Every structure is written in structure tokens, then in C-alpha cells.
Structure 1
């Protein structure tokens, strides 16, 4: 008698769909800083190869934050016309093509323009990912945000660490930059089946009508979120641009100063996962935000008083304090009820925030050159922390951008916009088709 065949249970359609979304988010996130850090690692070689003047080199280092601000602001308009999965595919195609073409040119202007093209793909993805987390992982926004911000850090570290060896292996800085176009092409694959599927929907709210678009610029929570994101961006980009120089001035060798800069990311990795996961579970975020801000403040005091003797401690505290970045991404999703609200708030907060970020390293550099020391630059960063704390208190309270945006006297009529679970699934686009069937 033949024994009955036991068929292993197949993964549910819902599980497969969720796993594909998670993989897609993670691979996109790996790409979101590699184009910036790989260029930073090879900037001297690029300057020599393209004969960049000092002014043009400065433009090259400023382009990322400007591109993130300008192109990120277009994402709400785009996502109302192109389904989210297709938009992510287009963003990764643009990123891959821009990175590939910029290493083929000998023109400084073309190099800058193609870099901006590549960065436009990142800018759109920056805004889309919090919305994707909100849509597909409403019960675990903090954990998933922590995972993808860790992926961003991993991609940034890998690009900065390997760009020079790859360039040396192939005998050209062009290879060290161009190889990352392949990584962007890989990020297309998880989203491609959904992007090619027919019958996709662009992002709309239940009961949507043209006069009811969400405008965070007309809300208190929108500006508080933008200021909070901007202040933490100032610290992050000023650190990337100037912390190694501070340590060199305090007596460390260039290689050790570079390792200490890397330590800001490495020492904080566990907290970069823990802090957003905790933020996703707390009703009020004031203690978490104030605690992280205070740790960053202590690091600034330490760098001003004893930059050499306590370097490892200050770097550790600074890294933990800067995990307000993934926390800010979680809060964007927590302060919106709907996908449209999330993408609108994300675009506004990140666009305004990256404009602040562009000013941070510039202001620090001017103060450093003017005063010849680090007290004044650190004082400015400390003031930014105070502003960050105040804005953090505003965004820490449970509230929603849609409620303010559609309040009487705002930019539209009062609407009942709390979506049901089925409505949210209906809004999630082609990737959620399996989820809708499973539901």
C-alpha cells in the first residue's frame, strides 16, 4: 500500500506579497546613500580626472541635499499620476542610468547634471518609502523603518569602503562610481512584476476630490515635522562633512579620524534598529526624542572640552543621538492617517529638511574658517538641537496631518477620512493585489 503523499503547506499569497514588498524596500534602501558616499570617497580622484575647480567641487558636494529637496517635493504630484510600484521602478531606473552615464563624461557640467539626475531617483524613493511602510506594515512601522534605515547605513558604509578599492582594481575612479549603477538595477527586480501588472491604481484617498488635497505647509504638524527633520539633517550632514577634520585638529592621524567618523554609524547600529521600533510602539514620543537629543548635546559639549581624550565616548553618544533620523521617518507615518497624507507629509518634511541640511555644513565651514576653532560651529549645532527638541515636543503628541489640513478654515472642507482596513488595501496599488485576494 502506497503511503499517502504529504504536501508541505505553501506560503499564503499574503505572506508572499508581504515578503516581496519587504525585500523590495530593503534593496531600494541600500541604494539611497551609496551614490553620495562613493563619490565622497573618490572626490579627489574625480576632481583631478574632471579638472574640477574648487567652486565646482563645492557644487558637487552640495548637489545631493538640493536634489533631495527639489525632486522630493514633486513626489506627491507624481504618485497621483503613477502607481507607487511603477514610480519606484522608474526612480531606480533613473538612478541606475544617471550613475552609469556620469562616469562616461569628461565634462564637469555634464557630470553634475547627471549626478542630479541620479539623485532625483533617490529623492523620490526617500519620500515613497515611509508611505510604503505605512501601507504594507501598519502594525510594525517602527521595526520595518529600522530595518530599512539600517539597510541605508549598510549601503552607505559599503560604498564608502569599497569605492576606492574597486577604482584601484580597475585603474579608474569611473569604475569605483559606475559599479553602483548595477546595485540600483538589482533594486528594480522585486518591483518589476507589480509594475508591469495591468489595472494598477494611482494613490487616492477614499472620497478623494480635487479640492481636498493635503497641504502640510498649511498645518502646524507639517511645519513641526519639517523643522524637526531639518534640524537633525543639519547635524547629520555637518558630521559627515566636518567631524573628521575636528579630530585631525585635535591630534588624531587622518586614518584614525576617518575611523572615528565611521564609528558614528557603527556604534549606533543597534540603536538605529531599537529607537524606531520603540517609537512605533509608544503613544507619546517626547521622552524618546528628548533623550536622544540630550545625548547628542552631551557629545557636542565633550567635543568642545575634550575632543581627544573622550573621542570614542563622544562618537558613541553622537551616533546614538543621531538615531532621531530613523525615528523621524517613523513619525512621518504615525502622523498621517492615509497613504496620501503620508506621502504629502514625507515630501514636505524632507524637502524643507534637506534645504536646512544644505546650509548646515556650509555654516559650520564658514564659522570654522572665520574663528579658526570648533567652539562656534559646535555652538550652532547645539542651537539646532534646542530647536529640534522644541519641534520634537510638537510632533511627539498623537495627531494627524489630515485633521489639521481639513479643519474648518484650512485648505478644504471637513471630511471623514479614517480609512477602513479594506480601503487601505484598495489604495496600496498593484503589489497589494495578492493581499486583497487573500483578505
Structure 2
């Protein structure tokens, strides 16, 4: 489906020769889909960020062991890897709209039922159900943007990344107040199912606008993506930025407390760091898609990281707001990592395949970061060794990003590789 072209065309790939283009949808249908994308994005992290603030209450209420709590905090990256990798195949069989309806249904049912679970194993199992929906949504939303808004990729990426950031922030900030107001952590966790219910309604209406299945021969799989250098660059870029982000979200407040900052102030700084994702999501996508070469953005984010981390290393309590701001700007690399799925592909199928490969393997890399960071802290007894690891990740992110940011397209790389085998 198409809309009126803009200057963003310069940053987007043109369809491959011979590819059938879907007919333009009515303006009202495109508006419905735009709203549906925004509402779906609100749900992709609520199952994750609602747990941390009441993890103590959950483990005590369920009698969950430390091992169970560790499994619970590891489940998101495992689910994102497994279910994210399956998404392109499921999308081809079910259709992208129907698959997203099922994903939002899984989020909604998972959140409601796990809040009522009486046993730890059942809580973990139903968490997998909720997280599977978020994993599918992670992969399918960039493809839906490319499919329905090929000439508005920047604008619509802004819409869904902002929705993602807002949903993440709401679940992180509102869970404790909900728990205190109701006196029940189960109600606080289950309340976010309302988001999924509301988001599913416009997608049910949008089912009538599901595009006809394309030529199955044009479908791309994860294996084809990983057969190219561009595909692996996407994996490593997404993986390194995810690892840095997970480390900051998991350890930032504790680092500041160990340096002498009180618990409340450390929590405020973490909330500020998280909230910086909202303006980054609002501003960056439209800028990123307006250029063919994204390497300047890679350098910008890395430079911000290095300023912030250097300040935290040398003088963490003098200029904490400044260092946190720079690290928050660096975390804008997440927006670039999501936007690049569209700007480095020519088709919605290519976007879905690159999104699946980058996110499935990338989240596995991202999940290892906090574990290694904590291990280095425990073995070294200070924060210098783990901070050195983070700076090393930033440098790898720079190298991979400079390769990924060059103006090329995944479909061309796959075609070139196939031609070499002939």
C-alpha cells in the first residue's frame, strides 16, 4: 500500500524489478493502520518492565526461588530470540495482520492469566505466552511500516518507536503505584492486559485490508539473511546496542549507589535515563531515513556514549545529570537499529527477514551483557573492569555500525550471493 511520495524516497529502496505492488489503501484505512501500529507498540515491553519494580513481591508471593527469579529475568531475551526467529515463517502462513492479532491476544491472555497463577512454574509458563506476543510484534511492526507506508518510513517508525518507549516507561513507572493503591501485585501486573485488548480492536478492523499474499518465491528466510555480510552486521549492531542498554537498565542505579548516591536519587537517574528514549524516538527516525548513509548517526551515538561513560568512570557524582544525558543520547542507537531494517531493505519481506535475524540473535547477545557485567564486578570488586567491557562493546558497535550504515540493500546482497553460486 502506498501514499504520496516525499523526500524520504531518497532513503528508501525501490522495489525489485517484476515485484507486484499492492494497490493503495483508502486514506481512512491507512489512518486506521497507523493508529493500530501505535497501539500495538505500547504492548511490546509491558510484560517485561512491569516485573522488575515488584520482583520482590512476586518471588515472595509465589514462593519463587532465586533460580526461578533468574529464569524470569532471562525469559525476555530467550523468547525474543526464539519467537522472533519464527515470525517471518508465521507471517507467510497466516498473514501479517492476522499474526499481529494473535500476538496481541497472546500478550493479553498471558498478562491476565499469569497474574492469577498460583505456582512459580505456571507463572513462568504464562510469562512465555505474553512474551511470545511481544517478540512477534518486535519483528512484524517494522515490516508492517514498510508494507503500508513505504514512503513514510521515517514518520511511522517515529510512531511505533515512540509508542514502544511510552509503553516501556508506563509499565516501569506505574506498577509500584498500582501495587500500593490496590495492595496486590497481581492486579498491578494484570492491569496492562487492558493495553493489549485496546490494541487488538483496530487490528481486527484492519483484517479486511490484509494485502493478498505475494509470490512465495520472493519470501526471504533468516538463513538467507545470515548468508550475507549485511545480515551479520545487522545482528552485531543490534546485539551490541542491546547489550549496552540491558547493562544500563540493570546496573546503572546500583553503580551510582555504590559511588555514594542515595537510593532515591539513583532511582530518579535511572528513570531519567529511561525517559530519554521518548524524545530520541520522536526525533531520530525521520532524520535517519532522510539520508542514504547512516554512518554519521553511528558516530554521533558512539561519541555520546564515550563522553557519558568516560564521565561516569572519572567523576560519577560530579555531573551525573550530564553523563546520564549523554548515555541516554547514545541509547538512541536502538532507534537506529530498528530503523535500519527498513532503510537497508527494498521490500516488506526483506524488512521482516532482517528484523527477525537481527532481533533473534541480537537479543541473545544483549542478554549476555548484564550477566558478564555483573560477573566482572563480582570478581574485580569494583566498577572499572565492567565499565571497560562496556566501552569495548561501544567500540565494536562503532566498527559494525560503520559497515552497516553504508547505502546498500539486503535483497541486492542476497541476489549477488546467489549469482556467485550459478
TM normalised by structure 2 equals 0.90
**Higher gyration radius (CA):** 1
2:338 matched residue in structure 1: 329
1:243 matched residue in structure 2: 252
User: What's the offset of the Cα at 1:212?
Assistant: 6.8
> Counterpart of 1:397 in 2: which secondary structure?
coil
**Distance in 1 between residues matched to 2:407 and 2:400, nearest whole Å:** 14
1:220 matched residue in structure 2: 229
Contact 1:31 1:155 in 2 (8 A): yes
**Distance in 2 between residues matched to 1:269 and 1:13, nearest whole Å:** 30
**Distance in 1 between residues matched to 2:346 and 2:220, nearest whole Å:** 14
> Counterpart of 1:80 in 2: which secondary structure?
helix
In the superposition, relative to structure 1, how do residues 408 and 159 fare at CA in structure 2: closer, same or farther (>3 Å)? closer
Structure 1 gaps of 5+ residues are 1-11, 414-439
Contact 1:232 1:388 in 2 (8 A): yes
User: What's the offset of the Cα at 1:150?
Assistant: 1.5
Q: Residue 255 in 1 paired to residue 267 in 2?
A: no
Q: Residue 67 in 1 paired to residue 79 in 2?
A: yes
Contact 2:220 2:350 in 1 (8 A): no
Contact 2:166 2:278 in 1 (8 A): no
Contact 1:267 1:319 in 2 (8 A): yes
* Match among 358, 367, 388 for residue 367 of structure 2: 358
2:155 matched residue in structure 1: 143
Cα distance per residue 1:212-242 (max 9 Å; x no partner) = 7571110110000110000000011111110
1:19-168 mapped onto 2 (5 Å cutoff): 19-168=31-180
User: What's the offset of the Cα at 1:271?
Assistant: 3.0
In the superposition, relative to structure 1, how do residues 393 and 173 fare at CA in structure 2: closer, same or farther (>3 Å)? same
Contact 1:143 1:280 in 2 (8 A): no
> Counterpart of 1:337 in 2: which secondary structure?
coil
> Counterpart of 1:308 in 2: which secondary structure?
coil
> Counterpart of 1:281 in 2: which secondary structure?
coil
**Distance in 2 between residues matched to 1:411 and 1:186, nearest whole Å:** 49
In the superposition, relative to structure 1, how do residues 222 and 411 fare at CA in structure 2: closer, same or farther (>3 Å)? farther
**Distance in 2 between residues matched to 1:33 and 1:382, nearest whole Å:** 26
1:431 matched residue in structure 2: none
1:420 matched residue in structure 2: none
Q: Residue 372 in 1 paired to residue 381 in 2?
A: yes
User: What's the offset of the Cα at 1:168?
Assistant: 2.0
**Distance in 2 between residues matched to 1:273 and 1:337, nearest whole Å:** 24
> Counterpart of 1:81 in 2: which secondary structure?
helix
In the superposition, relative to structure 1, how do residues 136 and 310 fare at CA in structure 2: closer, same or farther (>3 Å)? same
Q: Which deviates the most, 143-152 or 103-112? A: 143-152
> Counterpart of 2:406 in 1: which secondary structure?
coil
* Match among 203, 217, 220 for residue 209 of structure 1: 217
Over the aligned positions, Cα root-mean-square deviation in angstroms equals: 1.9
2:298 matched residue in structure 1: 289
> Counterpart of 2:212 in 1: which secondary structure?
coil
> Counterpart of 1:256 in 2: which secondary structure?
helix
In the superposition, relative to structure 1, how do residues 335 and 210 fare at CA in structure 2: closer, same or farther (>3 Å)? closer
User: What's the offset of the Cα at 1:200?
Assistant: 5.7
**Distance in 2 between residues matched to 1:199 and 1:384, nearest whole Å:** 41
2:307 matched residue in structure 1: 298
Contact 1:368 1:374 in 2 (8 A): yes
